[in-house]
Chain A
Amino acid sequence: MIKITKKNIEKKLLEAIKKAETELPKDVVKALEKAKIKEKGLAKIQLEAILENVKIASKESIPMCQDTGIMTFHIEAGTEFKYLVDLKKMLSNAVKKATEEIPLRPNAVDPFTGKNSGNNLGRNIPHITWELTSGKECTIHIIPKGGGSENMSALWMLNPGKGFVESKKLIVEHIVNAGGKPCPPTIVGIGIGGGSDICLALAKKALLRKIGERHSEKHVAKMEEELLELINKSGVGPMGIGGKTTVLDVHIEYAHRHPASFPLGLVLQCWADRRKTIKFTKNGSIKVI
């Protein structure tokens, strides 16, 4: 058992970031392998290159993609977790260290001066989403988010009367227009309701789910499956080169909406769906999952 100490937390954070950058989660690898069997010609060549790339990255412990992303953290933090107030600083330290040691590409640029900070730290970066829970446990989800897929995010404030039919059309059309840019096969995160910022935050949260993991409510799960099928009829295909696999999965999260609003947020994650979770249990141990 690895005890929760300041030193161990920093060590494990660094390990988790490295694993996130170099090892693609098994559910994603499986989905890509399944897609490879279905595809032929140029689409198959793309998936073969992706899978070969994943193998090399994992074997040699190097980042699977040169865009090592902007480091984002989603934290479910128990209010009694001993290191709660230190976490922000620890995460920044881990990102800085990871940038030197793995190494990562420095991806934090001052929008005004155009200057790259050189260590992936900067104003409001890395970004942390906090969710407070009770107890001593703490879970940190690490998501390095690439720029190519992030650039294809979208927000629509729809007329509630048109709601779902229009939503589905807009989502499919958006992914068709994005073509190869977000590095398909992608994973689609959709947020419905709340407000403009809330639906996009929900869309991003939806990306934490594993491939094949459906929403707990049946009607939402049904819409996920319907969209998955519809989008894959578009022919965009792996890397936009044409084919049957445009997306690996669709995940939806929702919030209640204002009667006058129907906010719809969309976030795409590239095939390099990098995520790693680090858990601090109530028994005082650290696990990297």
Chain B
Amino acid sequence: MKKIQLQTPLSIKDIKNLSVGDTVFLSGKLFTARDQTHKKMLELKKKGKKIPFNPNEMALFHCGPVVRKEKNKWVIISAGPTTSIRMENYESEFLSTFGVRMIIGKGGMGEQTLKALKKTGAIYTHFTGGAGALAAKSIKKVENVYFLKELGIPEAAWILTVANFGPLIVTMDAKGNSFYTHLEKERRKNLEKINKMIEKN
């Protein structure tokens, strides 16, 4: 298990040798996107319209932050990850369309995304759910925000500059490994044992 510092924009070379269980701290740019934003961006692309920022240069953060406007500038107050599996329907297409190299979320994602990560060369990293204040500490600046009026604060695409953002645990790597597959097997074994204990009592 390695501890690594990464800086955006990320290349395939930066992420291809990372493995499940490694810890990453990220500096550079992120954009937030939840399900509505995924849908919106894919729709824009299909219609041949321009995306107002370049997702390829940033990490994708599954997050709907708490924000405040101070002196005409947006400030992020609290910004932990949201449940990633909600984006499963969109993610494989999203990865191949926009060439994102790194996802930050919580709870992991499914088979479709795992395949897409391998195919497109990207990793999924886990950030501690609910740790919104800790995350906000390493967010240095709100660069911009898109789709705000249409989608509202939680669903808008917030473009953020971060420094030493983490700890991010690689739980799905670009080699086709998922930490969750291994965990799932363990859990099923444990569940069988627990069920026997319940029946005995």
Give A residues with C-beta under 8 Å from B. Answer: 42, 45-46, 49-50, 52-54, 56-57, 60, 62-68, 103-107, 109, 114-116, 118, 146, 148, 151, 165, 168-169, 172-173, 176, 179-181, 183, 226, 230, 233-236, 239-242, 270-272
Contacts and interface: CB of A to CB of B under 8 A. Distances in A.
27 contacts: A57-B133, A64-B78, A65-B80, A66-B63, A66-B66, A66-B132, A67-B130, A103-B67, A103-B68, A103-B77, A104-B66, A105-B64, A107-B154, A115-B152, A116-B153, A146-B130, A148-B129, A169-B195, A179-B180, A179-B187, A180-B129, A181-B107, A233-B193, A233-B197, A239-B107, A239-B129, A241-B126
A241 B107 CA distance: 8
A233 B140 CA distance: 41
Q: Which of B134, B188, B193, B195 has the most CB of A within 10 A?
A: B134
A106 B152 contact: yes
Contacts of B186: 235, 242
A230 B198 contact: yes
B78 A62 contact: yes
Interface of B: 21, 23, 36, 63-68, 77-80, 82-83, 85, 106-108, 126, 128-137, 152-154, 167, 169, 171, 179-180, 183, 186-188, 190-191, 193-195, 197-199, 201
B133 A180 contact: no
B66 A172 contact: no
A46 B79 CA distance: 16
Nearest to B152: A116
Main secondary structure of the interface of B (DSSP, over half): mixed
Contacts of A109: 152
Nearest to B80: A66
Contacts of B198: 165, 168-169, 172, 230
Contact of B129 (A103, A176, A235, A270): A270
